Homo-oligomer: A and B are copies of this chain.
Amino acid sequence: MLLKVTVLPKNGVLDPQGKAIQQALGSLGFDAVQDVRAGKVIMLDIAETDATRARAAAEDMARKLLANTVIESFTVEIP
């Protein structure tokens, strides 16, 4: 089963990568960009057919490895 884990910096946490992207977009002429947040996406293919158990496993992986829950929040979706 394929799962998509999205990791983004929490609100209020400085995001220098997002700011850099915003400045680069501005210098390319995209002036309408008001804010940019940059994060990670991890596509997991798990050998599990039960959606509830697959989701629970992915959340466990996110908490233990994929996200730093002090400064990042994560969501798990089944795409």
Show the binding face of A for B, using Cβ within 8 Å: 6-8, 18, 21, 24-25, 28, 30, 32-48, 57, 60-61, 64-66
Contact = CB atoms under 8 A, between A and B. Distances in A.
A39 B25 CA distance: 19
A41 to B, nearest CB: 4
Number of copies: 2
A8 B41 contact: yes
Contact of A21 (B33, B36, B46, B65): B65
A47 B61 contact: no
A37 B46 contact: no
Contact of A39 (B41, B46, B48): B41
A41 B2 CA distance: 17
